[in-house]
Amino acid sequence: MARILGIDPGSRITGYGIVDSRGGIMDFVVCGVIRTSATQSFAYRLNEIFEGLNEVIQTHQPAVAAVEEVFLATNPRSALKLGHARGVAVVAAMQNGLAVHDYSARAIKRAVVGYGQATKEQVQHMVQVLLRLTGKPSVDAADALAVAICHANHLQGVL
């Protein structure tokens, strides 16, 4: 069995989701978001992401992390901020001894919806179905679970 932590980094909201994968079966463990303090400095917020992920990892003990890559598109300023948050997420995982895998948004969507251009709502829906959840996870938590599912598929050789 592999316990996989999926992370969808963001300077305002970082989603996380943990899935257990064993022989092609995936079980939901936990998901949520780290919401950083809007009134604090950027440095402070980056530190909140680090400490939030640290706590999630120490509580649930995943064996491996998968982190969504930053899509270099529209706004370079947003991409740069996202890069900061993503670097912090990667190091939070590394500092806890987790191997870190990267997946593009396209690969993640393809893994859960079968279609690289899927909408956030489609991802949210399919995450709920694939993990047999009774409720819909929030969009950011669903994205993080989707990253974990993508890595689980990768481990199964499905991707």
Stretch that binds a second copy, among 30-38, 79-87, 125-133, 148-156 (CB under 8 A): 79-87
Nearer to a second copy, 92 or 141 (CB): 92
- Identified catalytic residue from 8, 51, 69, 143: 8
C-beta closer to a second copy: residue 23 or 97 = 97
- Annotated active-site residue 68? The verdict is yes
Annotation marks residue 140 as catalytic: yes
Catalytic residue among 68, 69, 102, 143: 68
Tell me which residue of 111, 107, 113, 104 sits closest to 72, measured CA to CA. 104
Between helices 105-113 and 120-130, what is the axis angle to 10°?
A: 50
Question: Angle of helix 139-155 relative to helix 120-130, nearest 10 degrees?
Answer: 60
**Is 121 a known active-site residue?**
no
H or E segment to which residue 144 belongs: helix 139-155
Q: In this chain, which of 41, 58, 134, 135 binds a second copy, going by CB under 8 A?
A: 41
Q: Which of 99, 107, 97 is nearest to 143 (CA)?
A: 107
Tell me the closest approach of the beta carbon of residue 73 to a second copy, in angstroms. Answer: 9
Residues 6+ apart with CB under 8 A from 87: none
Residues with active-site annotation? 8, 68, 140
Residues at the contact surface with a second copy, assessed by CB under 8 A: 41-44, 46-47, 50, 70, 72, 76-77, 79-88, 90-91, 93-95, 100, 102
